[in-house]
Chains A and B, each alone.
Chain A
Amino acid sequence: MNLEKKIILLLCLFFHDALYAELTIRITQGVGKQTPIAIVPFGADKGMPVLSVDIAEIITNDLIRSGRFSSTPQKNMLQKPTTGAEIDFDDWSILGVEAVAVGRISQMRTGSYNIQFQLFDIYKGEQIVGYRMPANDKTLRRSAHRIADMIYRELTGIRGVFDTKVAYVKSNVSRNETSYSLIIADSDGENEQVVVNSKDPIMSPAWSPDSRQIAYVSFEGNASSIYLQTLRTGNRRKISDHPGINGSPAFSPDGRKLVLTLGGTDGNLDVYILDIATRALKRMTYNRAIDTEATWSPNGKEIYFTSDRGGAPQIYKIFLNSDKAERVTFQGNYNSRPRLSPDGKKLAMVHLYRGDYRIAIYDINKKDLLILSSGMQDESPSFAPNSDTLIYATKMRGNGVLETVTADGLVRQRVASKQGDIREPVWSPFLKL
């Protein structure tokens, strides 16, 4: 899909869903204006072949998608500098632009490049940040995301998450058969890579803290099992295949353990902790109710989970050193699938609100609940590693699509959607460089 088609699609999304667009615009105005910036098309050395990706376009799209920036369209630019020395600060000041990014790409040898970029403060007439980085055809896109992350951090004070990945499950329904894939894509939805394909359902992907492995549930052979797969090699091993349910895996912050759900022959779902190296299993809940969807607190001391021991699903937590469960949510009669923000301050969940399943966020200290999404069947909230944004699944014309929303609820965006029914997005940790 080329840029024009993408923009048209994006516009269609905005105008199709007027309420959605209105909501985004109205509320972002409430937070303060979007910082006006300009990302000037990057220059290239003479004689260089045209690159497969447009670095400036990727950076611009990333920053616009965050909802915190507006950008000067190329046609309105009075000049197109590629180095700091060429910038005429008055030209940009007239346009009301606060920061300008410029850059150049040089080819070292075939398929190998050097990218330099600089970010300038227009009012002060000073460089804010400047870097030079090597890249090749495979890493150009990632380099663009990294530059967007640096700009985002300098201008907002928040670490960017453009150079991260999202894992999700896609189902393709054909005439006689449904197939399921586990897919990993860049945070902007591009660069999809299928890591598992199956004719049986795949569920509940979970990233290891080093983002090198992914755990998931597969129903191969008409029974549920939990697999651990190394992303680089594609090698996997079955790490839980007890009778009955094996579900809902989540890594401990140190990556050594998984919290998971086992049902056993009698189908009583309880939460267990599995030591990945020794396979030792420790039972954490003993209730006859459904206890599932467990997740670790970032400090590794507590487990949050869903339980309907009180009659309807609510979120509970257990302190690992005491084994005593305490109820966390009291608002509404359906709260499930807890996920903690990496900074440990907020709890995201699925919350039933006036008949609709919505993504809500609970401030652990203030004890207040904020509804973030507007769909009817929103599910699977997952925090970005900077705790500032979440991704979740919603439905559009019967198909699952992904949306992101800032944790303050102010900026909501749809992730570029591809074919198929997409669900269970999980945001990766920060990636190693």
Chain B
Amino acid sequence: MDELRKGFHNDLDEARAELVRLAASVTEAIPRATAVLLDGDLEGADYMIQGDDEIDARSLDLEERCYRILALQAPVASDLRQVVALLKMIADVERSADLVCNICKAARRIYGHDLDPKLRGIISRMGEQAQQLYTAAIESFVENDAAKAAAIDDMDSYLDDLQKQFVQAIFESHAAGRIDLQVAVQLAVVARFYERIGDHAVNVGERVRFVITGWLPEHHGAQRYRLRADDTGEMPRIGTVQDGDGTP
């Protein structure tokens, strides 16, 4: 049969495409921020920091586009999950762009300080891993691939390990007197930025799974909470009403 509501579905496809473009901008910015940090490129840092305004503007435009779709088209079922997920993903992508920006700001603060080859190596690997996570998140979104989206969580564990190794390497470098305390603190914060970018990619992957299945990993925790509340006889704070049919 003929598809109805073509205009609405075109709007939705266009909103999805814009999210992909936004996320692609962030993905491309991650290696550039790493290069700015490792090369002490002050001009590059300023350029990247200014570039974040464009991401902010595009995120707002896309958010408003989603509000319009909700208000004017009253989407339901998978279309509704799509728009709700888009709104959540915009926030993740926008925040990731801010974190990329923060890496460039940290680059300005540690300008002029030499870093150990070991520290530089782990920074490179964290940047590569964060970029791979984001690439996988976008691909799973474009391809509606729940399995690929689920795999992002495991990829993130490697980034978390790198962050821990990096913090250890900072301690060693500081103890040996090769970096001062101020630089050590800045580097620890940078590691946290990469790790958080990875977390946002994981969130995007979770939203992709939600669009496809209507399920979120938090449902496990919510279920545990309800079971615990049942054991203790206390009323859970979250409604568990399944029917809501108003019958007396």
Real binding pair:
no
